Structure 1
Amino acid sequence: MRLALRLALASLLAFLVLRCTGSRAQAPTPPQSKQGTADLGMQQGLRAGPGMNAASVGDYSYHSGSQPHRMRVLAWGDVRNGYQHDAVSHAMATIERLGYETGLWDTFIRTDSQLITKGKVLASDGTPSLYAKNLNDFDAIFFFGVREIDLTPQQKADLLSFVHDDGKGFVVAHSGATAFFSWPEFGQMVGGRFDEHPWGIVPSQVIVEDPKFPGMQSLPHTFPHVDEYYQIKGFNRADTHVILRLDVTQLNLNAPLVHHHDADWPLAWAKTYGKGRVYYNALGHDPSDWDDRAIQAMYFEAIRWALRLTDADITPHPFTAAKPE
């Protein structure tokens, strides 16, 4: 009886094994997942995506310079001596994504100021940093730092030279206008300084002064937006091309922190600094701003302009209260 039971169980087990094996053999092969590295176009260690970017880790051709690379943008967000807007991380990640997905530039995200130099970049022990970059390796900077950032006099000179003498680009977002109050030349390069946000975060209308500037073509002459609108000081229309300004007609110009009471409140502008191109935009306080396609288009096209991938007429024009036609 026991032998018969064992034989029956063995036969059942063999049947189940054959059936399961047969099912696996006959099942259709699922399509390869599109997630993860499958999206990166990795082929034998090289990323063969747009622009033949070879910036994959461990790719010797990238570090030796034997493969052409895309343009490079340094996303610089040093907030160690001030405060970090909640938007800073998401903004820099968005700039990285826009460059990567379009194939126009590679972004190097740094929350320190180590690479703001044209000299050697050293590790904390004083030895040369492996695969280190410095300003000579970048074509533009996207800046979202704040307040007094620790730069040596030589670093400051190198940063100004990067734009003024080398003709590189400098794109400043929102609170970047609060940086380096003790450094006059920085304010001259950017074109204006933060001078409080009198109303906090409020809804208002934004006026497009130059609808032809890259990134503005799809916008209406005025559009509603919620932001922490900045008041700007040290600004001169005679050498700066205003792109956006705040419509203050519905705002209280007698609020305690309002320091000038006319209607000329620039929000975004473009200018040259020596040979280089400088762009500032006060919009972008909230992380959700950087998911707004219109805001993304503004900064994407600003970086393209700063990289000289596109062009625009930035002849300064006088203020007029009339809305553009």
Structure 2
Amino acid sequence: MRRILALLAAALLALVALPAAARPLRVLYLDQSVGWKHAPVARPTGGGLAQSETAVIAIGKTSGVFEAEVTQDAREITPERLAKVDVLVFYTTGALPISPEAWAAVQARVAAGKLGFIGLHSATDTGWPYDGPGEPYTRFINGRFAGHPWTQGTPIRVETLDPDFPVMSMWPVGFDYAEEIYQHADFDPARVRVLQTLDFAGTPLKRPYAVPIAWVRQVGKGRLFFSNLGHTPSTWEDLRFRHQLVEAVKWTAGRTAGSATPDPFRQAMWQFKALLDYEPVAGRDDRAILGRLAKMDPAWQEATAARIAGLRALYPAKPGDDRAPFDAAYKALLAEVAARGGK
């Protein structure tokens, strides 16, 4: 009898322990718009859920990886509710009505490895005043919307930098797409690992600075993933994007491997490439130039890449704007980079 009771106790303990690792993850999807409302988060006038809300719920059920709840009210994010959430997903705009206590709790749980965070598309067009523990939202996600020259339907060329990373394995190394892509201010390359970027060699609408599309960040023991994709309704029907969301939930929840070690050197090289791709010159061996630049002093690489990134703020916002400050800075940088790489 004692042996039977011992076996039953062991079996009970096993059943109790198993769900912690095997149970579906709990996802809370916030798609509140305090500002511009994107089509995938617009609920029908007569009632019902938005396209992206329906998709997130369906993706979770179909995959068996997670169960999702959706809300368009950030006030529902409370410390008490967060205790029952494994991954928090933002597809948001504007100054969300989230309390300082709730935002502090989000960051504390992420840093403790108890909560994953995913930002989709306009999650970087979000921010509100905050001076409590941790970081303001913009610094937490590592970017602030600074325009979208690539509007819905604009053809782009995407380069996947880490094709073996779990949240990137469904995408080709290089592929053509059509999406609205944001460029960002307050982006610090030393804090994140960029997993996808625009490749201006194959993107008709060019800029002389790099434009990251997706990145990951280690926050204490926790993980953050952001993707620029998700503006266009058809993206939500793309099986690759839906697969990526599943893998992002798993990765941010700590169920799959993948290092978020920042890659400032690789990001610097893409800054150099964007500068050279902006105005191709026949006979100029850009590949050789990039190869030489890769061997330069790291301090010069980092400082020069930061200057190239700074061209975004100088780029004329409208056709009639004064181009002189941008042209002067661009030509000086191009001459320096070409000279350094041409030796």
TM-score for the superposition, normalised by structure 2: 0.64
Match of 1:109 among 65, 70, 78: 70
Distance 1:115 1:274 in 2: 25
Q: 1:228: which partner in 2?
A: 180
Matches of 1:173 and 1:95, distance apart in 2: 12
Which of these two proteins has the greater Rg computed from alpha carbons?
Answer: 1
Partner of 1:203: 155
What are the within-5 Å matches in structure 2 for residues 6-155 of structure 1?
A: 70-79=24-33, 81-88=34-41, 89-119=50-80, 134-155=81-102
Tell me which residue corresponds to 1:313: 259
Q: How far is the alpha carbon of 1:115 from its aligned partner?
A: 2.7
* 8 A contact 2:218–2:261 mirrored in 1: no
Return the structure number with greater helix share. 2
Distance 2:36 2:52 in 1: 15
Deviation at 1:160, TM superposition (A): 2.0
The within-5 A match list for 1:286-301 is 286-301=232-247
* Partner in structure 2 of residue 217 of structure 1: 169
* RMSD after superposition: 2.2
| CA distance, structure 2, for counterparts of residue 139 and residue 196 of structure 1 | 32
CA distance, structure 2, for counterparts of residue 288 and residue 278 of structure 1:
25
Counterparts of residues 237-316 of structure 1 (less than 5 Å)? 237-249=189-201, 250-253=203-206, 261-262=208-209, 264-316=210-262
Unmatched 5+ stretches in structure 2:
1-18, 42-49, 274-286, 288-343
Work out whether residues 115 and 222 of structure 2, in 8 Å CA contact, stay in contact via their aligned partners in 1: yes
**Secondary structure class of the residue paired with 1:219:** coil
CA distance in 2, matches of 1:233, 1:152: 25
CA shift in 2, pair 1:269/1:147, >3 Å = same
- Is the 1:95–1:300 contact (alpha carbons within 8 Å) kept by the matching residues of 2? no
Change in CA separation of 1:100 and 1:233 when aligned onto 2, cut-off 3 Å = same
Choose from 145, 150, 168 the match for 1:194. Answer: 145
Contact 1:76 1:109 in 2 (8 A): yes
Instruction: Give CA deviations for 1:119-167 in whole Å, capped at 9, x if unaligned.
Output: 4xxxxxxxxxxxxxx1101011111111111122222222222322353
Cα deviation code 1:17-43 (max 9, x no counterpart): xxxxxxxxxxxxxxxxxxxxxxxxxxx
Give the partner amino acid of 1:313.
S
Identity between Structure 1 and Structure 2 (%): 27
Corresponding residue pairs, total: 235
Q: Distance in 1 between matches of 2:108 and 2:194?
A: 24
What 5-or-longer segments of structure 1 have no aligned partner?
1-64, 120-133, 255-260
Q: Distance in 2 between matches of 1:315 and 1:100?
A: 32
Contact 1:209 1:221 in 2 (8 A): yes
- Given that 1:115 and 1:135 are in contact with CA atoms closer than 8 Å, whether structure 2 keeps it comes out as no
